[in-house]
Structure 1
């Protein structure tokens, strides 16, 4: 009997899911490499849909599979476990894929990456999985406890518990729902090279649909399915891909032409190049990063965008920075964080991140804030920002800093669109999905 050929797109999706589960690489990078190798735009789109969909719904899929199989998922190989997830995702969520095709293609993969026994298991589990029945069971789960919310909205239980502790049950449900939505693809207009009207006209000439974002004069949003990083306009440095919430950090720093600015954790350069545009390329921006490859990205982006005042230096921001960078007019500490505000964009983060990793992040953030603050001159502004919504990484950390440093105070004078997001302490906290933005935290501090 001739060997049955597997579907190349499904096989590529399986390989990406397996590598993601094994923490061998980031999903975004894997998708980019595999999509480039795919034979057609249709295949690339299908791979992306399978990978992102299976990751986004993995918690729900695993719960449903545990109801269908007598063999625990953890006892199966990573290959077979992810074949089951891919197959069930198609059955539950892809109306255009016939169940028979989802089952048959999954069995072919199981034969290639398993053996006759596991192929039989995949066949039995998926054939006995009925869409309406399983979706009704998920929908019927109560929303009054973290365990059921974890299954219903496909998040790790520890993460749901942390959200409830920080934000309460009602807001947590909203966060979970928004994390499972597709994020917009937005970009910042590079004011050093163009303006929004001209950029939109250029994009139209290049055959791409985009629209202005009302919140910010410099923001545009691309239509679904666009690949703007491949456009001539991108190569010419007319825009930088960036979420709107992240753009606000640079505005909160209130830079002026001629300022000296320290960007303590600058890679890959989105905010440093934005600051250069706001400063009209007049002054100096010291862009630091501890990783050489990220400094390379800063230099590449600065060159493409024409941000001539950005100077890079390999530097650990937890060490004394004052010998080289004291007396700065403005300091940005956009620190490494758990990323809990950008899960809708980095869906694999739900399954990569572990609660025991967060205390080390908090310690790192506190050290960077301490060192960065030492470089700010009296009267200057410091912005501490993260893309997380965890209070221990955000307001609690900044409150601890303020309790130790009486020469700093909160300055709540933020751009008008952010005023609605000011907390009682004067910090900005955007939650995932607020005005379709990513979750983001900003503390604006002034040195007395």
Structure 2
């Protein structure tokens, strides 16, 4: 591979914003890709993938390059040189790469690869908590899997199209996909491609949704005609899945504390032809209280550390702080206590997170079940979805039934 100056400059500029300004990597990459209209898909792919790669391995590369935060431009170029050397890319004769100690870089890499926190490029506290909660062996496998690049998985919108027809339409657009056993609506891209420019996307024939995330709505066991509440709906990935599982029949009340996310959900629902969704902004406790004892099914896709989705959000490793975990656990318990009251007698509830930590998952369910209101519920089953076993995001789901 030959390095092109303008593409490398874009990556370095992007990394300065991500590492020093704290701007989210996906937002930075979106901006970078608009930088030069002459760039082809390969150029844009290089900028996006290289940026994410260096963000993912920041700690390892910084250690090898012997640089410390805050990083100046020279520091970032040194980290870039480490990335290129480890990829086996010949460094051009540019001033930024003068005196790059290629042999020393490879030696340091071999040395640091024996220490998990450097090998997997994670903060000390994250390594400690992962090992403590999951055990050394399971954590070692899981964090290695969470450092792989995420696959692109689509969820067929069965309100508008069949999976076979969608696969054929995408094939006509030179996008090859494959079915995934155990994921009824999923299609996985064989090679990365920009699916958002396709007619299929514009017509609402699919959503981009990780395979593990596609398990959550199905876990709730919804049926057409039910009244379902998605309590932390956000922009509606799982809400839209519920709508297709319910064949547009019944009612889905999509709640969120962020009105802008619900606006995005409305837009997506219109494109997908999902007519049974009613977004409601939680602007006071009245919104929740009005729904007490009214829902056949309640989904609590709770806010969490996001440790299960590091593959697609590698910069979260550097933004997340240990204090946040204590706060989010308290929030999770508050949410499950409050929102579970919407489940009517004989109804069901799913508590889910995109975390792999037991303290955010089964332990929260157990605390709830021993609480005053939780005693009205019985535990049906739960599932830990691990990235190292499935190849997709880490998730947790628990199904509870109100007596």
Normalising by the residue count of structure 2, what TM-score does the alignment of the two structures yield?
A: 0.93
- The answer for the alignment partner of 1:245 in structure 2 is 212
What do the CA deviations read for 1:339-394 (whole angstroms, capped 9, x no partner)? 00011111111111111111111111111111110111011010111101122111
CA distance in 2, matches of 1:307, 1:334: 20
Aligned equivalent of 1:262: 229
Q: Any conservation in 2 of the 1:7–1:105 contact (CA below 8 Å)?
A: no
CA 1:359–1:78 in 2, change beyond 3 Å: closer, same or farther?
farther
- TM value normalised by structure 1: 0.84
| Alpha-carbon distance between aligned partners in 1 of 2:243 and 2:281, rounded to the nearest angstrom | 19
Within 2, Cα distance between the matches of 1:216 and 1:210?
14
User: Deviation string for 1:175-195 (max 9, x for gaps)?
Assistant: 122122122110111110011
105 and 41 in structure 1: CA distance in 2 versus 1, 3 angstrom threshold: farther
Partner of 2:85: 91
Moved more, 180-189 or 8-17: 8-17
Q: 1:367 aligns with which of 317, 323, 334?
A: 334
| Structure 2 CA distance for aligned equivalents of residues 318 and 367 of structure 1 | 13
Conservation of the 8 A alpha-carbon contact between 1:23 and 1:352: no
CA distance in 1 between partners of 2:146 and 2:301 (Å): 22
Q: Does 1:407 align with 2:376?
A: yes
Structure 1 residue 255: Cα displacement: 0.7
* Superposed displacement of residue 81, structure 1: 2.8
Contact 2:134 2:357 in 1 (8 A): no
| Contact kept? 1:318, 1:371, Cα under 8 Å | no
Query: Who is 1:73 aligned against?
Result: 68
| Unpaired segments ≥5 residues, structure 1 | 1-5, 67-71, 108-122, 142-147, 413-426
Q: What is the distance in 2 between the residues matched to 1:280 and 1:271?
A: 14
Q: What pairs up with 1:136-151 in 2 under 5 angstroms?
A: 136-139=110-113, 141=114, 148-151=115-118
In structure 2, the CA distance between the partners of 1:311 and 1:134, relative to structure 1 (3 Å rule), is: same
The residue correspondences of 1:268-307 to structure 2 (distance < 5 A) are 268-307=235-274
2:233–2:239 contact (8 Å) kept in structure 1: yes
Deviation at 1:304, TM superposition (A): 1.0
Give the 3 Å change call, closer, same or farther, for CA 291–46 of structure 1 in structure 2. Answer: same
Match of 2:48 in 1: 48
Query: Bigger shift: 257-266 or 218-227?
Result: 218-227
Q: Decide which of 129, 133, 142 is 2:107's aligned counterpart.
A: 133
Partner of 1:233: 200
Between 193-202 and 27-36, the greater mean CA deviation after superposition: 27-36
Give how far 1:206 is off: 1.5
Rounded Cα–Cα distance in structure 1 between residues aligned with 2:260 and 2:78: 37
Aligned with 1:428 (options 377, 383, 386)? 383
Look up the SS of the partner of 1:198 in the other structure.
helix
CA deviation after TM superposition for structure 1 residue 296, in Å: 1.4
Count of residues in correspondence between the two structures: 396
Q: Does the CA contact (< 8 Å) of 2:212 and 2:393 recur in 1?
A: yes
Tell me, yes or no, if the aligned pair for 2:300 and 2:351 is still in contact at 8 Å.
yes
After superposition, what is the alpha-carbon deviation per residue over 1:84-117, rounded to whole angstroms, capped at 9, x for unaligned?
A: 2122111222x2x31345xx2635xxxxxxxxxx
**What per-residue deviation string (whole Å, max 9, x for no partner) do you get for residues 297-354 of structure 1?**
1111111111100111111587761224641110011011110001111111111111
Q: Distance in 2 between matches of 1:37 and 1:127?
A: 32
Equivalence for 1:106: 96
Structure-to-structure mapping, 1:1-16, within 5 angstroms: 7-16=5-14
Find the aligned partners of 1:163 and 1:303 in 2 and give their Cα distance. Answer: 41
Whole-angstrom distance in 2 between the partners of 1:384 and 1:262: 12
C-alpha contact 2:85 2:102 (8 A) present in aligned 1: no
Q: Is the 8 A contact 1:340 1:439 kept in 2?
A: yes
| Deviates most, 338-347 or 432-441 | 432-441
Q: Deviations over 1:213-246 (max 9, x none)?
A: 1121211101222111221111111111101111
Distance of 2:284 and 2:379 partners within structure 1: 22
Q: Which residue in 2 is equivalent to 1:211?
A: 178
Task: Name whichever of 80-89 and 160-169 sits farther off.
Answer: 80-89
User: Unpaired runs of 5+ in structure 2?
Assistant: none
1:333 and 2:288 are equivalent in the alignment: no
For residue 410 of structure 1, give the secondary structure of its aligned residue in structure 2: strand
Aligned residues of 2:250 and 2:276 also touching (Cα < 8 A): yes
Q: In the alignment, is residue 352 of structure 1 matched against residue 319 of structure 2?
A: yes
